[in-house]
Structure 1
């Protein structure tokens, strides 16, 4: 780019859940014999985390950026994106 700079960034990561058990057995202190089980939402034991972004900076002080983030597993898929325009003097 002749009047500025283009910066590209990327990230790839692996996330592992070491405790996939989402159930607990709470008990009321004032009623000791009445315990019950609460089951939480299932979470994937392994997932891939990704980020890709690009930023354009012009010599006149303006810049624009775009970012994509994702989380992928056999249970869930999550996508997110954001953009920004900035002027610095």
Structure 2
């Protein structure tokens, strides 16, 4: 059984599935915002007047790329804590 085996996730119960869905939604929202920032930055570069603003928008979008692994790390920590909490109860059954 590998770490990515769906059966492993199901053994955690519905809480794990809810957690995964919430964090995945956060990742998708973050990706959407990154795309929006890069689009706005690109449009700003079409006009010499807004090139500086465009550069700052690109910097913002690049920094936001750090949010994605942060969200995934938070999800993994959350799931690991859930496993630890549920492990003793599984041994008692």
Q: Tell me the TM-score range normalised by the shorter chain.
A: under 0.3
TM-score (norm 1): 0.26
TM-score (norm 2): 0.25
Relative to its length, the structure with more strand (as a share) is 1
Q: Looking at CA atoms only, which structure, 1 or 2, has the larger radius of gyration?
A: 1
Q: Which has the higher contact order (CA 8 A, sep 6+)?
A: 2
Relative to its length, the structure with more helix (as a share) is 2
